[in-house]
A = this chain, B = another copy of it.
Amino acid sequence: MPTSALLSLADVRDAAARISGICLCTPVVPVVMPDGTVPLRVKAECLQPTGAFKLRGATNAIALLEPERRVRGVVTHSSGNHAQAVAYAAARAGIAATIVIPDNAPAVKVEATARWGAQIVRVPPAERETAAEAIAEETGATVVPPYDHPDVIAGQGTVGIEIAEQVPDLDQVLVPVSGGGLAAGTALAIKALRPQVRVVAVEPELAGDLAEGWRDGQRRVWAASQTARTIADGLRTTSVGLLNWAHLRAHVDDVVTVTEEEILSATATLVRGSRLVAEPSGAVASAALLSGRVDPSPGTVAVLSGGNVDPALLARLVAP
């Protein structure tokens, strides 16, 4: 498939067949407030075996490798949920994975990736992309990109197919956006299956590159020093990918931002109201509704994209 073309629902359906049995079909769970109201439901991607939706795209991309590429393995650079996803998907497919992790990443993140049997290569942060490319060049391993690739977008889009099937009264979908793989794929699938449903992408205000240029149709690139300010460490990408941008323009109705305080408040609300552990990035979409930045609507589903939260932060947020 040419990487410049927009994906179709058929691409996402094919991905759904490929990832079935490895990724969980996650439930849609009501968020119950202290007064008994349910302002939204969440698609609980934190329940994936690696704790985040990233497993869908990585599994689809790896399933599509030709046999001659499989024997040479895969490589990626990440210290977060994409690293765990590639390591886990490769292990399940029985192929080798090398993960380049910046040497300033916390040990707990390295261990979370290493437990799936991947080879870990640690380099200075600035060298991670070139290091991954060099490994690919030397070994013939295939790079599994985190978001800007049709197979990854198609895999993440399976979230949208599942929501459309699970929620008959669906009228609004909120999805976090960083590089834009999840938002692009989910929006595509929702609009194909339920064209009347409104799709809103949500960013932290401190990493609001997409929101900044959305109204005038400009894809913006922020500095890493800007996006690094948000506590939502899964959403610090400095821009959406080019292919992701094209999909977002075609299928997303609006882009809104949320503050750091709103993100943390939503994280706590999800624990209390749904018994689900979210990381701050995973609570960003819910925060948009809970803070009133998108209009309430009874058929609202937010994607709770991941749950790999720092234990100290979680303890602080759940304390009475």
Contacts and interface: CB of A to CB of B under 8 A. Distances in A.
A32 B24 CA distance: 14
A36 B38 CA distance: 35
Nearest to A115: B36
A47 B27 contact: yes
Contacts of A320: 311-312, 315
**Do most interface residues of chain A lie in helix, strand or loop, or is the interface mixed?**
loop
A34 interface: yes
A228 interface: no
A315 B319 contact: yes
Oligomer: number of copies: 2
A271 B315 CA distance: 11
Contacts of A311: 272, 318-320
A96 to B, nearest CB: 16
Interface string A34-50: 11101000001011011
Contact of A34 (B111, B117, B312, B316): B111
14 contacts: A26-B27, A34-B111, A36-B115, A36-B116, A38-B49, A47-B274, A275-B276, A275-B277, A275-B278, A277-B277, A312-B319, A314-B318, A315-B315, A315-B318
